[in-house]
């Protein structure tokens, strides 16, 4: 998919044509649509309207974990299992780390070499690039493209740092949290709040010393977390812990079977609809808020945010009054 990102500036085929080629599974068409998402191309509005009737088929699986736990290797193994089951798979590797420099550290093609030549696996890296709205804006729209393009499963993989994994968990139907023995991952896990987002926990590098201890710690922390937070629905899902050795595919089948079991629970409990409603709410909100931000920075804005900020800085106003003025003048 060595597509030139600037291709969309030349008019080559209408939006409808591109959308219908993407719907047929044409990888170049999918690539172009996702580049439009990354570039915030003006055609997106039309694209999303054309895709609307086809969305909602794909199962979204989030994979997160600290650096070095083996996320790419695990994704690779999981995709292998999904392919054995005949599923069409999309992989979105999201790099939330840098808001400025753009471009994921790992290119699309060096990742997951096992599946690079498989036409039924679409692999794409995305960086947040400091766009207005950042990943919260672009990731759901890229998911929407892959979903409408006929993927049965879309895997979003992201490094688990700070809020990023919470954001990814908000996008996924099922969230996998990966851990590995060593590096004090136990207590780090608690710090990073990942114990509250995992639907399935994977202890990778299970052949290493400390794997059993990590699993035990994890089990008690999950139990504790469920008691404290009360966030889980009543009669809810008890997150399983699966041990894997992803570099040799060990445990991947069990992970996929737990993903299926979780999905069945989601459907049955009504939690799938709740999660997807929340996801779409967030998506709509982010688009609306991004539009508003553009509006109050516009040269024709009746009240400009910069002027209000200057008043607050001078001590002549306060942020609440300024926010009121902003909203009154929308």
Q: By CB under 8 A, what part of segment 233-272 binds a copy of itself?
A: none
Smallest distance from the beta carbon of 314 to a copy of itself, in angstroms?
8
- How many CB atoms are located within 10 Å of the residue 82 CB? 22
Please answer whether residues 125 and 93 qualify as being in contact, where contact means their C-beta atoms are separated by less than 8 angstroms: yes
133 in contact with a copy of itself (CB under 8 A): no
Q: How far is 71 from 74, CA to CA, in rounded Å?
A: 5
The encoded tokens of residue 134 equal 């950042």
Nearer to a copy of itself, 1 or 326 (CB): 326
Residue 55 lies near a copy of itself (rule: CB under 8 A): yes
Residue number, 26 or 97, with CB nearest to a copy of itself: 97
Q: Are residues 224 and 233 in contact, defined by beta-carbon separation less than 8 angstroms? A: no
Q: Considering the rule CB under 8 A, would residue 54 count as an interface residue with a copy of itself?
A: yes
Is the Cβ–Cβ distance between 75 and 112 less than 8 Å? yes
Per 3-state DSSP, what percentage of the chain is helix, strand, and coil (rounded to 5)?
50, 15, 35
34 binds a copy of itself (CB under 8 A): no
Handedness of CA 64, 68, 72, 76 (dihedral sign): negative
Distance CA(134)–CA(289), nearest Å, equals 12
**In this complex, which beta carbon is closest to a copy of itself, that of residue 1 or of residue 44?**
44
Q: Smallest distance from the beta carbon of 29 to a copy of itself, in angstroms?
A: 18
Q: Count residues binding a copy of itself (CB under 8 A).
A: 74
Phi, psi of 48 (to 5 degrees): -65, -35
Residue 285 lies near a copy of itself (rule: CB under 8 A): yes
Q: Is 319 near a copy of itself (CB under 8 A)?
A: yes
* Using rule CB under 8 A, residue 147 touches a copy of itself: no
Minimum distance from residue 37 beta carbon to a copy of itself (Å): 12
Q: Which stretch binds a copy of itself (CB under 8 A): 5-13, 29-37, 233-241, 275-283?
A: 275-283
Residue of 9, 223, 291, 298 that binds a copy of itself (CB under 8 A): 291
Element (H, E) at 324: helix 319-328
* Nearest approach, Cβ of residue 96 and a copy of itself (Å): 6
The stretch among 48-56, 80-88, 243-251, 262-270 that binds a copy of itself (CB under 8 A) is 48-56
Candidates 143, 175, 174; CA nearest to 55 is: 143
């Amino acid at each position: 998919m060595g597509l030139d990102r600037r291709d969309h500036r030349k008019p080559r085929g209408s939006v409808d044509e591109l959308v219908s080629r993407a719907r047929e599974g044409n990888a170049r068409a999918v690539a172009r649509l996702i580049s439009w998402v990354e570039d915030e191309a003006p055609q997106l509005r039309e694209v999303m309207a054309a895709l609307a009737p086809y969305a909602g088929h794909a199962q979204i699986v989030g994979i997160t974990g600290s650096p070095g736990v083996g996320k790419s290797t695990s994704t690779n193994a999981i995709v292998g299992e999904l392919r054995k089951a005949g599923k069409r798979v999309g992989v979105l590797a999201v790099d939330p780390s840098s808001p400025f420099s753009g471009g994921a550290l790992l290119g699309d093609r060096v990742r997951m070499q096992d599946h690079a030549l498989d036409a039924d696996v679409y692999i794409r890296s995305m960086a947040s690039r400091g766009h207005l709205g950042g990943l919260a804006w672009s990731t759901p729209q890229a998911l929407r493209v892959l979903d409408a393009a006929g993927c049965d499963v879309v895997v979003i993989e992201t490094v688990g740092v700070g809020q990023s994994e919470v954001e990814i968990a908000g996008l996924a139907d099922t969230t996998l949290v990966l851990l590995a023995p060593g590096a004090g991952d136990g207590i780090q896990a608690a710090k990073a709040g990942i114990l509250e987002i995992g639907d399935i926990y994977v202890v990778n590098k299970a052949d290493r010393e400390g794997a059993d201890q990590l699993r035990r710690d994890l089990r008690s922390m999950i139990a504790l977390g469920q008691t404290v937070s009360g966030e889980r629905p009543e009669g809810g899902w008890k997150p399983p812990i699966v041990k894997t050795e992803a570099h040799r595919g060990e445990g991947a089948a069990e992970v996929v079977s737990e993903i299926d079991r979780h999905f069945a629970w989601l459907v049955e409990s009504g939690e799938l609809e709740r999660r997807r409603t929340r996801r779409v709410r967030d998506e709509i909100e982010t688009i609306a808020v991004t539009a508003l931000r553009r509006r109050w920075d516009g040269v024709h804005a009746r009240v400009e945010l910069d002027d209000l900020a200057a008043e607050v800085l001078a001590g002549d106003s306060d942020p609440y009054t300024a926010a009121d003025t902003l909203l009154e003048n929308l």
